[in-house]
Amino acid sequence: MTRRLSAALALLTAFALAPAAPAHAADEGPEQIVNGTFDDGTAPWWGTPNLTLGVEDGRLCADVPGDTANPWDVIIGQDNLPLVEGETYAFSFYGSASETQVVRALVQLPVDPWTQYLSAAPELSAAGDVHEFTFTAPVSLPDAQVAFQIGGSAEPWRFCMDDVSLRGGAEPEQYEPDTGPRVRVNMVGYLPSGPKNATVVTDAPRALKWELKDASGRTVAHGKSTPRGLDESSGERVHSIDFGKYRKPGTGFTLTVDGETSRPFDIAEDLYDEMRTDALKFYYTQRSGIEIRDDLRPGYGRPAGHVGVAPNQGDISVPCQPGVCDYSLDVRGGWYDAGDHGKYVVNGGISVHQLMSLYERDKAASKDGQLNIPESGNGVPDVLDEARWEQEFLLSMQVPDGERLAGMAHHKIHDAQWTGLPLLPHLDPQPRELHPPSTAATLNLAATAAQAARVFAPYDAAFAARNLAAARKAWAAALANPDLLADPNDGVGGGAYNDADVSDEFYWAAAELFITTGEKEFARFVQSSPHHTGDIWRERGFDWGNTAQLGRLQLATVPNAIPDRARVRRSVVEGAEKYLATQRKHPYGLPYNPPDFDWGSNNLVLNNMVVMAVAYDLTGKEKYREGVREGMDYILGRNALNQSYVTGYGEVSSQNQHSRWYARQLDPSLPNPPRGTLSGGPNSAIQDPVAQRLLQGCKPQFCYIDHIESWATNELTINWNAPLAWISAFLADRSGHTHCDVRYTAGGGRHFTAQVTVRNHGPKSLDDWELRWWFPGAQRVQNARGATVTQDGPVVTASGKRVKPRHAITFGFTGTTPAGPNPAPEVFYLNGERCR
């Protein structure tokens, strides 16, 4: 989860897992381990009570019991080992297993919070091998502990070790990422009609010749690069290459320049079709409270997590932390936030919002059956079914009527203590706790519930009404408690997600409530907020802690009657211009370029692209869509590390995101994250021990390592996959903007009459025309005249035979609308092209 910046982040999950690299010579330092060769028996080594230690053939051996859930259920260790701050140590041992096993080899604080200065996960075999590691001690300690965690196996096995050594005076480990060829491209590919840009790392002062070759090796285009000088975000000198004039589709293209050839890529219209689906499918395997079916996600099946079945202690009836409340709540369901088992309202809020926003952008593109989830086939678009799984959880976090702070929302629910990796959700033995309500969480609930009230109205009126009632209740509670802030020190067992300024959440919630209800109270709040007219387009993008942008984008795109809506729309275009200017200056085409990269920088890149995408929708200007297309190049390989940050996309992609159950790097029986999972990406603060050990002094783009224990640079989260899904859906949309004139007028109350005029300004007839739009809520067409009109959920399709050149046709219908606003639809597609 993002922003785990409290001291609790150095707890037992903050492993500093080292790769199995040779330890450099440490001959000058004294041996710290006592009896590491076991010539004198087993003392002073100790084991947990479920072990009997013995010496066999000069090695320490023990029979490890089966049916243990966690690595720390079985431990062998030695205490009282001195460490000196700043000293680099070589740690080595010989280890074997009766059958292949991954174990933990740790150097750590011997008491809570068990801070780990080295955590290695070597794979032991029956043949045995020597394992060597280095680490630098961040503190001086007179009594560090070496521990071998060897539990977590269903079957019993035999463990042996010998020649355990810990010596100072080692050379610090030098980490050099494998960046492959110096020519950096979008490894997934480029759209035929879109921009095609690449970056080459070179010290050449002048332009270089480049060649684009097809899969057969034939040169199909050529040109010269543009020198760009020093790129501050990577610390490298680079050139950029533009080969956008080549538009012929194909597979296996490569780009050659300066004696280097890029990794292969495609040129195709359908590049993002699967990514759009995969980025959304990610959420099913993140679900809590339900069995993940292997027939729906082969290789990812698992029992339901946290449904009150031992060893779980939740989430059927979860109590509050001591002193917070005297009730328990049923908070089963929802999505696990990240690689842990916590569930957080503020992170869930922006995530479910962006899924519903993806749906609201083009309701016709979201279908039932697209995601292959248990609800597929129920007549509701799958993206809404998935969003509902989280929204139901958010509703369950609301403080019940009659209790103190009724209507507020609890900030989060998670384990009482941190757990280690790997740990499947159904095996988590920790007690679960509700944390205090917060104003931020309450406003997230108000915003998402107001949005859900309108998007679910055509499919489930009762659920929509429940959401609207919860939104109103949450809004009133937040007004009564405007400054209940999450404790920044509440970071044991889960992230704090603290936010010192909730004025942006007030603005977002008021905007959603106004769009859904049209009520003046919310309009007044929106217009009086400084976020309504201020420059909210941060260079660092928007995220769960900066949500005013969500309100502004919604007011710009979802039909509503805010009086200054034209200015709101212009402001979105101004924000897009800012990000476009940043992108044009950046030699890697990044619409994000602060001097240091943030935790989860990839999601901030994508959210800046969302602003550009909305500007395209509002104006139809191709430069904004081209900006989004070029921005995706960075995510998919055109970056300093020459890798894709989306699992399964591109020749080299992130595979080892920080997760307790997508943990193949630690346990070969477990899977990697599913295809379509976004990695958080470069983070200049490098808070985790792995990053601190390997990435010191890194330039922003190099502050990343694809390692499961690098939770600061390589985490996965629900709020990072949300903009990936949004942008992938935008890029998969192959419709263009066309000049067409559609006029929609309606009058009346809950029973209304509408008239639609379609004017053909072109020189040719519109034959067999089809006009598509969608209502914002539960409006229904009753009787139509002048055209054939059908409706599927909120999506309406009208069709007719012919519109002559420079003529118009008019058709009408009667309809019904529930209580509340009935704004005119604003997005129309004529024969598949978006009107402007």
Residues serving a catalytic function are: 340, 658, 706, 715
Are the C-beta atoms of 454 and 515 separated by less than 8 Å?
yes
Among candidate residues 509, 392, 387, the one with its CA nearest the CA of residue 443: 509
Task: Compute the distance between CA of residue 679 and CA of residue 699 in angstroms, rounded to an integer.
Answer: 18
d(CA 425, CA 820): 42
AA letter at 242: D
Q: What is the DSSP letter of 58?
A: T
Cβ 627 vs Cβ 307: under 8 Å: no
Please list the residues that pair with 267 across neighbouring strands: 190, 250
Please say whether the beta carbons of 100 and 124 come within 8 A.
Answer: yes
Alpha helix (H) ranges present in 456-600?
461-480, 503-517, 520-528, 530-533, 548-557, 565-585
Which stretches of 6-113 are DSSP H helices?
none
Whether 161 and 60 have beta carbons less than 8 Å apart is answered as yes
Residue type, 409: A
Q: How far apart are CA 287 and CA 822, in angstroms?
A: 35
In the beta sheet, which residues pair with residue 239? 200, 227
Q: Give which of 637, 643, 646, 638 is closest to 589, Cα–Cα.
A: 638
Planar angle of CA 297, 604, 522, nearest 5 degrees: 95
Distances (CA, A) of 468 to 464, 473, 824: 6, 9, 21
Which residues 6+ apart lie within 8 Å of 814 measured at CB?
Answer: 751, 752, 753, 754, 781, 782, 783
Query: Is the peptide bond preceding residue 422 cis, with omega within 30 degrees of 0?
Result: yes
Question: Rounded to an integer, what is the distance from CA 83 to the centroid of its chain?
Answer: 38
What does DSSP assign to residue 2? -
| Angle at CA of residue 721, ends 119 and 69, nearest 5° | 40
At which residue do the structure tokens 């502004």 appear?
A: 552
Q: Which residues are registered as beta bridge partners of 89?
A: 135, 168
Full DSSP string of 793-809: TTEEEEE-SEE-TT-EE
Helices 718-732 and 273-285 cross at an angle (nearest 10°) of 160
Q: In what order do the strands lie in the sheet with 808-816?
A: 741-748, 751-759, 808-816, 780-785
List % helix, strand, coil for the chain (3-state, nearest 5): 25, 25, 50
SS3 per-residue string spanning 237-253: EEEEEECCCCCCCEEEE
CA dist 337 and 739 (Å) reads 43
Beta bridge mates, 119: 17, 106
Q: How big is the CA angle at 77 (ends 75 and 83), to the nearest 5 degrees?
A: 135
